[in-house]
Structure 1
Amino acid sequence: MMEQDSISMEIINPNAAGIDIGSRSHWVAIGQQEQDIREYGVYNEDLFAMADWLLEKNIKTIAMESTGTYWQNLYAVLISKGFAVILCNGKFTKNIKGKKTDVKDCQWIQKLHSLGLLTSSFLPDEKTEQLRTYCRHRANLIHSSASTSKKMQKYLRLLNLRLDVVVKDVCGLTGLAIIRAVCNGETNPQKLAALRHGNCIKSEHEIAKALHSNGRKDYLFALQQELDTYDYLKDKIALCDIEIQTKLNEIIANDENKKQHYIDAKPHKRINKNTPKDIDLNLKSYQMFEGTDLLAIEGMSYSSVLTLMSEIGMEGIKKFPSAKHFTSWLRLAPNNKISGGKILSSRVPRGSNRLKIALRNAANAIGNLKDPTPLRDFFQRINFRKGRVSAISATARKLAVIIWNMVVKGVSYINPEGYLFLDQKRKLGIVKRIKKQIDKFELTIEDLNITNS
């Protein structure tokens, strides 16, 4: 009878533990024997008891899955105790096919970590993580207010007040003024139309024609309720903006390398209505990235820069050794699958995060530019060959590479053709039309009565 051969693998992390995270309890394995496995609860005293047991067993490094938000408190406790903790994506710790239990899962994680087969997920520093919490909460509030805006539009339509036809934004200056007047009992279309803001395209007569209500009290009550909810959410967003500004000031004030930088305002840069109004994000981003002007890139908005600061931060970008690693983490780089020297697939991996979405939105804005720029021309070339979806992904990847080089290597963004803001475009357009008229009528300096002073 032949003896069975055994395959041994080199132990990379000899004093390693694996933890299977759960909502009600955590399972810990420091080896593959039955006595090496324990279950702990999720209360604070249970987490510290787990940490004490691991210290007693001389454990140096620990691997755990990033399961929901259940891992965060345990992660903080283990870090405070001096352990080297690796947070892993769940897809890299999947066990082989067979019976699945919590005990087997923690044993499998411990075995993989001991052999050095697990890699850590990206985690921002503590200050960036706190800023991220505020910004993500603010984004959720904006999403809720947008949902409330749609409900107000629905009840206006049921009241036969077709405000959505005559104004661009129901929750703009004209729209909100009319909605508040309707909720206060005003029914005269002419008086409602008189609340029109001067920037509104439609005339008072056109707006008045769309504001003949059917007077349904139930719909009016629901509209009032949604308006109150909208105002409540706007107040919460304003409070969130104050916390974001406070956190940004705190981060910058405690770092000499950041607070020494200054940049002039960009008055021509458009500000989206959801952008924090009382925060100078142009200056804050310039200071946060220590003299790197990311808003010099066409297509980059204030919200895109705020997302970059809160999701990853300057120190987070520097954790990536190259721009390729950065774009791969963002899932913007093709995942080439090669067999026998032949590329079987080169699709961009599925998955998304808030920073990827922000870069894709910036890429889409670049694609909408009318004036030619290098990035806009790149977008159009990809769009012509592969379609707009591929062009957005490719341009977002190029933006990520540019941002990494600007922040890590200190390379300034230079647009050789220049990018003009709206007022500058209007000025050039006027000059162009004047020159065209001069050429058309063959006018001379004497005809124009121009004198050189």
Structure 2
Amino acid sequence: MVKRKRNEVVFPNAAGIDVGGSSHFVAVPADAATDSVREFGAMTGDLQAMADWLLSCGVDVVALESTGVYWIPVFEVLEQRGLTVWLVDARQLKYVPGRKSDVQDCQWLQTLMSFGLLRAAWRPAGEVCVVRAIARQREVLLAEQASWVQRMQKTLIEMNIQLTEVLSDIMGMTGQAIIRAIVAGERAPKALAKLRHRRVKASEEDVLKALTGNWRDEHLFVLGQALSMYDDLARHLAQCDAKLDALLDERGRAKIDIGKPPRAGSLARTEFGVRQAMANWAGVDLTRINGLGVTSVMKLLSEIGPDLRRFETVKHFCSWLGLSPGTKISGGKVLACATKRSANRARQTFKMAAMALSHSDSALGGYYRRLCSRMDKPRANTAVAHKLARMFYFMLTRGEEFVDRGQQNYEEQQLQRSIAALKRRATALGFELNPKSAMLSNANANANGLVT
């Protein structure tokens, strides 16, 4: 590690920008301009003038304070003009001395940046940001659609139409057919009960009882409005899906064969197409990792992208996710080792994927259940999410293929490790273990010297 002097200037041509809602304060080195601090407006023309002034002052690196969403236009304009922009967390300026003001903030940003005392937040490449914006919009639409489904369910209960008692999903094939018939004007319970699909577990008689209620006009009006909003959101979701497919096809031009498409219905073929497009973009098929399905991989690639060169090691990557255990040590004693709280979307995706392994018969499923037997489930979930993040990192950086050896192989390995640990402990205490032959055969103890 190269040591630098205390007062050594790392970025002599650095500038600092304090971002605001209606104006931005910019500070450049004192010898770069007569007025080293200037205020610019928030309009696009003002941002272009800001970039012109920074370039005329010889600035090449800009420290930009992250404030709400106001920094995004400034970041994009300066980046398009060829400047290197560092997005800096405002908390790094919390304890600087002096009176708090916009002018002081931009000057401190410029000073700390020139000495290399600031850390830049990670922002993925532009092509990833495009996919991320569409993917996040899709999540918002899904949440809105789910809220309207809850409103339809509430309205049906107010009319005493107990569809939730006979159907597991009121927006399934049978539920949608019944609701659309009610909105269209059908009121006869027998006619509505005939819309029951043959795979519904509830009998037609039970469905008939559930469809006998009071048809009040105000409830029917609200139900029709909710169904219309649901359909409108479904149309917008289809547009988001088409846009995502086009973006993935554009970014995944290198073809990677992940096998033959399934012979099942159109839904399975569509999922296979999305999986193929994501594999082409990432260079590896990340869905081979147990717990990471098509939806999870889509969210991870849209949030992080396939290029992880910004993270030097897998430890840096897991620390950025907030999945690495913390180390608070004082006086040689570990005070706390819990992971930090984080709203990182990729972190939440890995934790949800870890929860999906609870009933998996894979090696990762066995690992999750073994940890649950030793600690509480939240901690086990975080540990498994950490393991999934490491696999994700190695597949993208090294191009390694994930091979699942199965739960049985994992349990056999754990048994071998337990036997070896018992042998070492017995030897340290001056004893010798002589297990039964059946135990040796179950442990696959061959001529390797694991006789204890």
TM-score under structure 2 length normalisation: 0.84
Shift of 1:269: 11
- 1:286 paired to 2:279: yes
The answer on whether the counterparts of 1:62 and 1:85 sit within 8 Å (CA) in structure 2 is: yes
- 1:355 paired to 2:355: no
Paired with 1:97 and 1:15, the residues of 2 have a C-alpha distance of: 23
- What is the alpha-carbon root mean square deviation over aligned residues? 2.4
Query: Which residue pairs with 1:185 in the alignment?
Result: 185
Shift of 1:181: 1.0
Going from structure 1 to structure 2, the CA distance change for 1:174 and 1:344 (only over 3 Å counts) comes to same
The answer on whether the counterparts of 2:155 and 2:219 sit within 8 Å (CA) in structure 1 is: yes
Q: Map 1:435-446; keep pairs closer than 5 Å.
A: none
The answer on whether the counterparts of 1:299 and 1:362 sit within 8 Å (CA) in structure 2 is: yes
Query: Which residue pairs with 1:401 in the alignment?
Result: 390
Shift of 1:62: 0.7
Paired with 2:55 and 2:264, the residues of 1 have a C-alpha distance of: 55
The answer on whether the counterparts of 1:163 and 1:175 sit within 8 Å (CA) in structure 2 is: yes
Query: Which residue pairs with 1:308 in the alignment?
Result: 300
- 1:379 paired to 2:368: yes
The answer on whether the counterparts of 1:159 and 1:213 sit within 8 Å (CA) in structure 2 is: yes
Paired with 2:300 and 2:137, the residues of 1 have a C-alpha distance of: 15
The answer on whether the counterparts of 2:364 and 2:407 sit within 8 Å (CA) in structure 1 is: no
Percent identical residues: 38
Shift of 1:35: 3.2
Paired with 1:403 and 1:270, the residues of 2 have a C-alpha distance of: 30
Q: Tell me which of 312, 320, 323 is aligned to 1:321.
A: 312
Give a deviation string over 1:183-233, Cα, whole Å, max 9, x none: 122222222121112322212111111111111111110010000000000
Give a deviation string over 1:19-73, Cα, whole Å, max 9, x none: 0111111111114799311110011111111111111211121101222221122
- Residue identity opposite 2:129 in structure 1: E
Give a deviation string over 1:96-131, Cα, whole Å, max 9, x none: 366321111111211211110112111111111111
Other structure's SS at 1:48 match: helix
Shift of 1:277: 4.7
The answer on whether the counterparts of 1:65 and 1:93 sit within 8 Å (CA) in structure 2 is: no
Q: Map 1:66-85; keep pairs closer than 5 Å.
A: 66-85=66-85
Query: Which residue pairs with 2:15 in the alignment?
Result: 17
Shift of 1:81: 2.0
Going from structure 1 to structure 2, the CA distance change for 1:380 and 1:310 (only over 3 Å counts) comes to same
Going from structure 1 to structure 2, the CA distance change for 1:277 and 1:354 (only over 3 Å counts) comes to farther
Query: Which residue pairs with 2:61 in the alignment?
Result: 61
Give a deviation string over 1:333-381, Cα, whole Å, max 9, x none: 1121122222211111111222222211111111133x3x221122112
TM-score under structure 1 length normalisation: 0.84
Going from structure 1 to structure 2, the CA distance change for 1:97 and 1:164 (only over 3 Å counts) comes to farther
Q: Tell me which of 404, 408, 424 is aligned to 1:415.
A: 404
Shift of 1:94: 2.5
Paired with 1:276 and 1:162, the residues of 2 have a C-alpha distance of: 35
The runs of at least 4 aligned residues of structure 1 exceeding 6 Å deviation read: 268-271
Q: Tell me which of 262, 276, 295 is aligned to 2:287.
A: 295
Other structure's SS at 1:35 match: coil
The answer on whether the counterparts of 1:311 and 1:355 sit within 8 Å (CA) in structure 2 is: yes
Paired with 1:211 and 1:111, the residues of 2 have a C-alpha distance of: 71
Query: Which residue pairs with 1:174 in the alignment?
Result: 174
Paired with 2:177 and 2:97, the residues of 1 have a C-alpha distance of: 62
- Residue identity opposite 2:76 in structure 1: A
| Mean CA deviation greater in 346-355 or 150-159 | 346-355
Going from structure 1 to structure 2, the CA distance change for 1:222 and 1:90 (only over 3 Å counts) comes to same
Name stretches of at least 5 consecutive residues in structure 1 with no aligned partner: 1-6, 420-453
Q: Map 1:21-40; keep pairs closer than 5 Å.
A: 21-31=19-29, 35-40=35-40
Other structure's SS at 2:406 match: coil
Query: Which residue pairs with 1:252 in the alignment?
Result: 252
Query: Which residue pairs with 2:430 in the alignment?
Result: none
Paired with 1:368 and 1:90, the residues of 2 have a C-alpha distance of: 43
| Mean CA deviation greater in 87-96 or 261-270 | 261-270
Going from structure 1 to structure 2, the CA distance change for 1:198 and 1:93 (only over 3 Å counts) comes to farther
Query: Which residue pairs with 2:257 in the alignment?
Result: 262
| Mean CA deviation greater in 281-290 or 158-167 | 281-290
Query: Which residue pairs with 1:44 in the alignment?
Result: 44
- Residue identity opposite 2:405 in structure 1: P
The answer on whether the counterparts of 1:47 and 1:74 sit within 8 Å (CA) in structure 2 is: yes
Paired with 1:58 and 1:331, the residues of 2 have a C-alpha distance of: 38
Paired with 1:265 and 1:163, the residues of 2 have a C-alpha distance of: 40
Query: Which residue pairs with 2:149 in the alignment?
Result: 149
User: How many residues matched?
Assistant: 402
| Mean CA deviation greater in 137-146 or 47-56 | 47-56
Q: Tell me which of 321, 338, 343 is aligned to 2:329.
A: 338
Query: Which residue pairs with 2:162 in the alignment?
Result: 162
